[in-house]
């Protein structure tokens, strides 16, 4: 059995999240209606009294730092009962959490989440998206130190258009070596194209990384 994806949305309206998913080839509406993913819309819970009514989309009665973790844990428990323990959890985005609750509270909330989930759902995976331009350097450094894997992404303008460069900077794999990859979104069924690069000058400077 594969992983069941769950997106915790802190950074976009629901319609905006759907559009961003579509831009990389994910038909979120289709997947939700077929019961193949779930969304916990914290952004909508906090900022909008109007909520979408779709299977797999969850809202909180309130989104406050003192009570948000237990409320989200209750949703996870329900999903584990229905879908099994192999959840692929994504925080979209951690800077959105920091804007919503401040960096100090975000650190405490994520520490609690990681500590608890390592015991209650050890088979689950957590993916964190973070815009480094929004948060402090110390917050970014803490996030990287907490993670088993870290990928730095930057945009590069070329004659062909905008290309995303992915720098793998951290891994728990004993054979890990840092690498640089080119990511392009193209038209067609296979929208995501990834290519490993070897040109040393493409590596980001220390300022770009931090």
Residue 24: predicted pLDDT: 80
Average pLDDT for residues 113-141, to the nearest whole number?
95
More confident residue, 202 or 41: 41
Per the CB < 8 A criterion, the answer to whether 116 and 122 are in contact is no
Cα gap 181→154, rounded to integer Å:
11
Domains by residue range for the chain, with CATH: 1-147 (3.40.50.300), 149-210 (no CATH)
* pLDDT 10s digits, 70-94: 999 999 999 999 999 999 999 999 9
* pLDDT 10s digits, 39-71: 999 999 999 999 999 999 999 999 999 999 999
Q: What is the mean pLDDT of the chain?
A: 90
Q: Is 119 exposed, middle or buried (0-12, 13-18, 19+ CB in 10 A)?
A: exposed
Lowest-confidence range among 10-14, 26-30, 188-192?
188-192
Q: 23 Cβ partners below 8 Å, 6+ apart? A: 185
């Amino acid at each position: 059995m594969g992983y069941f994806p769950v997106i915790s949305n802190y950074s976009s309206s629901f319609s905006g999240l759907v559009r961003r998913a579509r831009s990389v080839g994910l038909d979120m509406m289709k997947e939700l209606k077929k019961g193949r993913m779930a969304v916990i819309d914290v952004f909508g819970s906090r900022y909008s009294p109007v909520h979408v009514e779709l299977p797999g989309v969850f809202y909180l009665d309130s989104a406050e730092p003192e009570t948000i973790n237990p409320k989200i844990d209750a949703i996870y428990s329900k999903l584990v009962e229905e879908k099994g323990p192999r959840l692929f959890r994504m925080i979209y985005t951690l800077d959105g959490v920091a804007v919503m609750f401040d960096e100090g509270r975000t650190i405490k909330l994520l520490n609690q989440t990681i500590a608890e989930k390592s015991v209650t759902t050890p088979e689950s995976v957590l993916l964190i998206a973070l815009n480094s331009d929004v948060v402090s350097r110390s917050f970014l450094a803490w996030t990287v130190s907490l993670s088993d894997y870290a990928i730095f992404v930057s945009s590069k303008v070329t004659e062909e258009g905008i290309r995303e460069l992915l720098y793998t900077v951290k891994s728990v794999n004993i054979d890990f070596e840092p690498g640089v990859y080119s990511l392009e979104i193209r038209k067609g069924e296979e929208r995501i194209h990834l290519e490993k690069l070897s040109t040393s000058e493409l590596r980001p400077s220390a300022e770009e990384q931090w």
